[in-house]
Amino acid sequence: MRKSTRVLTFGICGLVLTGVAGAQIKQLIKIVGIWEIVKRFGPDIDKGFNKLVKRSESATNTTKVVPIITAGLTNKRNAIGMVQVSGPKAAVAKVKSVAQIEENVLGVKIRALIPTEKDSFSGTPTPIDQVGVTGIVDVKL
């Protein structure tokens, strides 16, 4: 059994055993599903983004699709999706995910998209310099 399948199986069993509602099981399936989709189809999704905006990679710059993790600090919105990042090849190669942090400041919603070397985060993640987000696919949990 593959690691991701084991994680999904144990996660669902754990949720069922603790009596968690079906909605949370759906969230777990979405989370594991998005990570698997990015792992398997990320290069194809990346090509789709590039075709959409008529972008071609160069010898120095490249693009890549990675998971995006959203954490709402004030409104408690949580979601997972996919993003395309772009920048110098060496920097883009380091990106494992993008952290999206939301906060309300003086009644204005501020959203930061932070390419990071981690596949999970708590607090404020450390950004990878020279890498930016160029496309978003967001799935609300």
107: pLDDT strictly greater than 70: yes
Question: Is residue 86 exposed (0-12), middle (13-18) or buried (19+ Cβ within 10 Å)?
Answer: buried
Name the residue among 106, 108, 116 with its Cα closest to residue 83: 116
Residues paired with 109 in a beta bridge: 104
Strands 132-140 and 97-105, how do they pair? unpaired
Quick: pLDDT tens for 50-68. Answer: 998 888 878 788 999 999 8
32: pLDDT strictly greater than 50: yes
121: pLDDT strictly greater than 60: yes
Report pTM: 0.70
Helices (H), the chain: 3-17, 22-52, 89-94
Question: What pLDDT is attached to residue 56?
Answer: 81
> Which has the higher per-residue pLDDT, 73 or 27?
27
